[in-house]
Chain A
Amino acid sequence: MNLRRLVAIAYKETLQIWRDPRSLAIALLMPVMQMGLLGYGVSLDIKHVPLCVYDQEQSSLSRQIVDSFTAAQWFRTVAVLGTDRELRAAMDHGSCTAALVIPVGFTRTLFTTGRAELQTVFDATDTNTANVATGYAQGIVAQLDATLNARWQAAHAVSASAAGTVNLSPRVWFNEGLDSRNFIVPGVVAIILALVGSQLTSLTVSREWERGTMEQLISTPVTALELMFGKMTPYFAIGLLDAAFCLAVAAFWFEVPFRGSLFALIVTTALFALVVMGLGYLLSVRIHSQLGASQIALMLTMLPTTMLSGYTFPLDQMPRAVQAVSLIVPARYYVAILRAVFLKGSSLWEMAVPIAALVIYAGLIIRAAARAFRKSLD
């Protein structure tokens, strides 16, 4: 490999990128757009679930229960109902997703028997929301229960130890606020890098074939490796710039906690950029049309990285066969790495497995791309 020819190709390519508004637009605008769209648009947190309150008792305790439901941001009261019929209608119309029913005699039953029942009704057409809202309701009731219990024990002069209550005190690590944005945004960076990276390089060789410049180029002493590394160098720089931009937005704008080392982040990001750009380049060499190559690059990155990288859809919840398929999606490893670096502060060594997977991937793709190029019109 001759460094001078490599540099000549890289320089030429840089000039062409600079003068091709389409490439530049893809390179610079797509990440901005996607970061905003995906960072803001995708959130798994369910807040302000519309709640109908049907308080049949109207006591001080029942009002306290209603207040505890709406005190946090999980529920928001949209209607106060007076009859069963109204409850039915409200659920049918979908004006509320959840309803809280406090039966008559709730307070009396509770303080005489020590047990009383509240009813919550959920509209489960959206199962995920219903599930999450059920969880919220249980949490609120459990807390309420603990407060009431303490009060009841105090009133009856029974010590807590004698009652033998077991309290679970859950601690959540790495994402203390259980904020799904902290979980999703690093994945968004991986998706953007995969899309932009593969798109950029998918155009580069096919453009030479399409414009008829390849015939003269292959009559020179340039080699497949010089062409590949020369062409990939400027795009690699653009890809890293995009990644730096997206990662900075993740850390400073979306305020995803960053606990790892910058060095680990740079090394792994460069590695992933190499994989996706190698893939785009391979397609560009194989398919002599810009449109065809970029379409296939889009197909090969868009769906796998969104569905099978674990960025929103947890991989361990998928059927075994799908999990096996996800092993060949490079974004899966980078998403895992990003989450580990951001939220856990993992070191390179702790991420050895996904890093090794990316190294193998990069090696295979670069090798395939180098071999796919033929200095011939055949």
Chain B
Amino acid sequence: MSSAGARIAITASGVSRHFGELAAVSGVDLSIARGEIFGLVGPDGAGKTTLMRMLAGVLRPDAGSITLDGIDVLADPEAVKPRLSYMPQRFGLYEDLTVAENIFFYAELFGGAPAERRARTAELLEAAGMAPFRRRLAGQLSGGMKQKLGLVCALIHQPSVLLLDEPTTGVDPVSRRDFWAILYNLRESGVTIMFSTAYMDEAERCSRLALMHAGKVRLCDTPARLKQAMPGVLLAVSAPDPRAVRAALAEAPGVLGVLLKGDHVNLRADSTARAGEFAAILGARGIAYTAITPEAPGIEDVFVALTGAQAAS
């Protein structure tokens, strides 16, 4: 293994997978360094789950190659499994077993000394804020608790690569905070984390991220550079009725894109100098607004600019 190879945790090249006529994933190339928190961002149906499953070795690609920690996943999927933890999108634990029983089961499947297992179980449950729920059946946990239990089970054997498929979907903000605290701690110890999400705000937490749309990775870079790569500038128009603003300005000259953001509208324009023209159009149509100000683009803006699609927010 070359020294460059040793620093790379996950590579995918030309990975494709079809389901009948549908190309779920087509020609994806990725290279993820050890210790990265890598995000896979895209709307539902973009192919994120299919790609994650192929990386985890539970689904075979039609074409392409995948390596994890330098091991060829397609040639020897079993060799990577001890180093890997995969948390599927659908809750994959046993609802008729308790929290402690689920953890014990996964710990035993991966081996390891009993004393170590006990210490690690206690530590992870503590970090997840789940220590009081050891004896509760997994089926009786809340959505956020279930996801945290999934993470605890995934981490019980100290994997070097962690693959999380939409781990925070349906998770309350408090549990999400615990979740991210655990992930950041892991990164300190050199674990490579790849996760998929449809939440754009979570994408900002990644060291790098890939924007996925219709089975392809459209862009892959750090969040900061992705934002710089967005064509045009962003103007935020705050208004009591943002929908009216969107309707009025969508076709205006200089507007490249419009994104509704709750109490305001993000206009992507060719120049900040257009602010005056937009104010004039709104005034002429009698649409009330409070301010038009330049805004730093978020990942969602970049994503919409690149794909024309609006993801979940």
- 12-37 of chain B: CB within 8 A of chain A: none
Binds B, one of A85-93, A208-216, A289-297: A208-216
Q: Which of B92, B101, B104 has the most CB of A within 10 A?
A: B92
- Which A residues lie within 8 Å of B180 (CB)? none
Binds A, one of B75-83, B220-228, B287-295: B75-83
> Within 8 Å of chain B (Cβ to Cβ): is A164?
no
> Within 8 Å of chain B (Cβ to Cβ): is A7?
yes
Interface residues on A, range: 20 to 34
Please, which residue of chain B has its CB at the minimum distance from the CB of A5?
A: B109
Beta-carbon contact of A5 and B108 below 8 Å: yes
- Which A residues lie within 8 Å of B97 (CB)? 12, 15-16, 19
Instruction: Name the contact of B92 in the complex, choosing from A2, A11, A217, A378 (C-beta under 8 A).
Output: A217
> Within 8 Å of chain B (Cβ to Cβ): is A315?
no
Please, which residue of chain A has its CB at the minimum distance from the CB of B102?
A: A12
Beta-carbon contact of B108 and A4 below 8 Å: yes
> Within 8 Å of chain B (Cβ to Cβ): is A104?
no
Q: How far, in whole Å, are A294 and B101 apart by their CA atoms in the complex?
A: 28
Binds A, one of B52-60, B202-210, B253-261: B52-60
Beta-carbon contact of A12 and B94 below 8 Å: yes
- 57-75 of chain B: CB within 8 A of chain A: 57-60
Known: A12-B97, A16-B96, A218-B58. A377 touches B53 (CB 8 A): yes
Q: How far, in whole Å, are A218 and B81 apart by their CA atoms in the complex?
A: 9
- Which B residues lie within 8 Å of A211 (CB)? 94-95
Q: Which of B56, B86, B95, B105 has the most CB of A within 10 A?
A: B105
Beta-carbon contact of A212 and B91 below 8 Å: yes
Instruction: Name the contact of B81 in the complex, choosing from A214, A219, A378 (C-beta under 8 A).
Output: A219
The number of A-B residue pairs with CB atoms under 8 Å apart is 79
Q: How far, in whole Å, are A220 and B82 apart by their CA atoms in the complex?
A: 7
How far does the Cβ of B117 sit from chain A's closest Cβ, in whole Å? 12
> Within 8 Å of chain B (Cβ to Cβ): is A76?
no
Beta-carbon contact of B96 and A221 below 8 Å: no
Known: A12-B105, A376-B59. A215 touches B92 (CB 8 A): yes
Please, which residue of chain B has its CB at the minimum distance from the CB of A7?
A: B108
Known: A211-B95, A212-B91, A213-B93. A221 touches B101 (CB 8 A): no
Q: How far, in whole Å, are A4 and B107 apart by their CA atoms in the complex?
A: 11
Q: How far, in whole Å, are A20 and B96 apart by their CA atoms in the complex?
A: 8
How far does the Cβ of A349 sit from chain B's closest Cβ, in whole Å? 42
Interface SS, B side: mixed
Instruction: Name the contact of B101 in the complex, choosing from A7, A15, A215 (C-beta under 8 A).
Output: A15
Contact with A along B41-61 (1 / 0, CB 8 A): 000000000000100111110
- Which A residues lie within 8 Å of B106 (CB)? 220
How far does the Cβ of B111 sit from chain A's closest Cβ, in whole Å? 6
> Within 8 Å of chain B (Cβ to Cβ): is A353?
no
- 334-378 of chain A: CB within 8 A of chain B: 375-378
Beta-carbon contact of A377 and B108 below 8 Å: no
- Which A residues lie within 8 Å of B87 (CB)? 216
How far does the Cβ of A84 sit from chain B's closest Cβ, in whole Å? 74
Please, which residue of chain B has its CB at the minimum distance from the CB of A18?
A: B96
How far does the Cβ of B107 sit from chain A's closest Cβ, in whole Å? 8
> Within 8 Å of chain B (Cβ to Cβ): is A37?
no
Q: Which of A20, A215, A223 has the most CB of B within 10 A?
A: A215
> Within 8 Å of chain A (Cβ to Cβ): is B88?
yes
- 6-26 of chain A: CB within 8 A of chain B: 7-8, 11-12, 15-16, 19-20
Beta-carbon contact of A221 and B92 below 8 Å: no
How far does the Cβ of A22 sit from chain B's closest Cβ, in whole Å? 11
- Which A residues lie within 8 Å of B81 (CB)? 219-221
> Within 8 Å of chain B (Cβ to Cβ): is A222?
yes
Q: How far, in whole Å, are A217 and B96 apart by their CA atoms in the complex?
A: 15
> Within 8 Å of chain A (Cβ to Cβ): is B285?
no
Q: How far, in whole Å, are A351 and B200 apart by their CA atoms in the complex?
A: 71
- Which A residues lie within 8 Å of B96 (CB)? 15-16, 19-20
Q: How far, in whole Å, are A222 and B86 apart by their CA atoms in the complex?
A: 14
Q: How far, in whole Å, are A220 and B78 apart by their CA atoms in the complex?
A: 8
How far does the Cβ of B47 sit from chain A's closest Cβ, in whole Å? 15
Beta-carbon contact of B86 and A216 below 8 Å: yes
Instruction: Name the contact of B58 in the complex, choosing from A4, A19, A376 (C-beta under 8 A).
Output: A376
Q: How far, in whole Å, are A19 and B96 apart by their CA atoms in the complex?
A: 7
Please, which residue of chain A has its CB at the minimum distance from the CB of B98?
A: A15
How far does the Cβ of A1 sit from chain B's closest Cβ, in whole Å? 13
- Chain B: residues with CB nearer than 8 A to chain A? 53, 56-60, 77-78, 81-82, 84-88, 90-97, 101, 104-106, 108-111, 150, 153
3 tightest CB-CB pairs across the interface, nearest first? Answer: A216-B92, A8-B108, A219-B86
Q: A213-B94, A219-B81, A220-B106 are in contact. List 6 more A-B contacts (CB 8 A).
A: A4-B111, A12-B105, A213-B92, A215-B53, A215-B92, A219-B85
Could you show 11 A-B contacts with beta carbons less than 8 Å apart?
Answer: A2-B111, A12-B97, A212-B88, A213-B93, A213-B94, A216-B93, A216-B150, A219-B57, A219-B85, A221-B110, A377-B59
